[in-house]
């Protein structure tokens, strides 16, 4: 399941267009819409525009028990090719696994100059592969993989423009409460709010102020974009320090009635968008966005 849909348009700035704006926010997609349907709702780029398709979390559409069985199948197969990762990639590319099918789709979407992927809490395989091999797997499908420890990625366009982007799969362990009766097993890239603040600060210290145009985290910030008010403000502090032009997040599933003002907000002085396109029951549901940012620094 691809759980976000966001497109950046890097175009020549027409007269009078503001520094940054949301160009389109399409109507809420039907719960029955499939991935291709979501893609078709994305408006075609204007002439001379170069686009970036960004996704945060990619996973098969299976129930958790089946999903975990697939995880172990892939990891066991990886052990068979421990000394030859290229052989694993050949096997994975030709497999019928949901994850492989999602990667094939993402890597083949047309009209985009770049395709960028950030992991999330369901992406057990990407996390277990480790950054280097996960990057190799994504590159095998024509997708760029972003992760916490990586330096900001510079994306070049035919117009000569460059966009710097950085992303992290971070989100936080969900505690038991009135909305959660059991601890989730989907904990890839997640941090313990009680003990791992220093780890997050250390791992993100290389992302310098003003070093990125677009910053992505899988989980939302505290108190905005469906982020809980009582969660740590580590992501808020990161945004306040780095000051990107655009911030994107997902993780929190859309409620039954989505309102645009809940999906877009000023977060620590940055234009922020919650771009998840799944409902609380994991159906396809959300707002595909296009963001026009004509004046890159």
| Residue 235 Cα distances to 39, 44, 161, 248, 289, angstroms | 29, 32, 28, 11, 22
Biggest CA-to-CA distance, the chain: 59
Best CA proximity match to 251, nearest among 224, 284, 217, 281? 217
Domain boundaries, the chain: 6-292
Q: What is the mean pLDDT of residues 229-239?
A: 95
What is 6-292's CATH number, 3.40.1000, 3.60.21, 3.40.1360, 4.10.240?
A: 3.60.21
Length of the chain: 297
Show Cβ contacts of residue 247 under 8 Å, excluding neighbours closer than 6 positions: 214, 215, 216, 217, 221, 239, 267, 270, 271, 272, 273
Q: What is the mean pLDDT of the chain?
A: 75
Q: What is the mean pLDDT of residues 154-171?
A: 89
End-to-end CA gap in the chain:
34
CA distance 132 to 117: 14
pLDDT tens per residue across span 82-109: 778 899 899 888 888 888 888 888 888 7
């Amino acid at each position: 399941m691809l759980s976000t849909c966001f497109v950046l348009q890097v175009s020549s700035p027409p007269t009078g267009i503001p520094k940054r704006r949301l160009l389109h926010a399409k109507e809420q997609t039907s719960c029955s819409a499939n991935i291709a349907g979501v893609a078709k709702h994305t408006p075609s780029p204007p002439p001379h525009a170069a686009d970036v398709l960004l996704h945060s979390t990619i996973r098969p559409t299976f129930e958790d028990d089946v999903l975990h069985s697939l995880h172990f199948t892939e990891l066991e197969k990886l052990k068979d090719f421990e000394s030859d990762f290229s052989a694993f990639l050949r096997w994975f590319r030709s497999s019928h696994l949901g994850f492989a099918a999602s990667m094939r789709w993402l890597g083949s979407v047309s009209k985009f100059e770049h395709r960028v992927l950030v992991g999330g809490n369901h992406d057990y395989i990407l996390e277990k592969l480790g950054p280097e091999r996960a990057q190799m797997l994504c590159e095998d499908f024509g997708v760029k993989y972003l992760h916490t420890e990586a330096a900001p990625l510079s994306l070049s366009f035919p117009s000569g423009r460059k966009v710097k982007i950085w992303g992290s799969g971070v989100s936080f362990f969900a505690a038991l409460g009135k909305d959660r009766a059991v601890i989730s097993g989907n904990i890839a890239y997640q941090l313990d709010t009680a003990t791992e603040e220093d780890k997050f600060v250390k791992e993100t210290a290389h992302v310098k102020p003003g070093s990125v145009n677009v910053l992505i985290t899988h989980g939302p910030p505290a108190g905005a974009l469906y982020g809980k008010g009582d969660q740590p403000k580590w992501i808020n502090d990161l945004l306040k320090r780095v000051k990107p032009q655009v911030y994107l997040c997902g993780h929190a599933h859309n409620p039954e009635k989505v309102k645009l003002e809940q999906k877009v907000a000023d977060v620590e002085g940055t234009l922020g968008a919650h771009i998840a396109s799944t409902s609380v029951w994991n159906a396809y549901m959300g707002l595909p966005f296009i963001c026009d940012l004509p004046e890159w620094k």
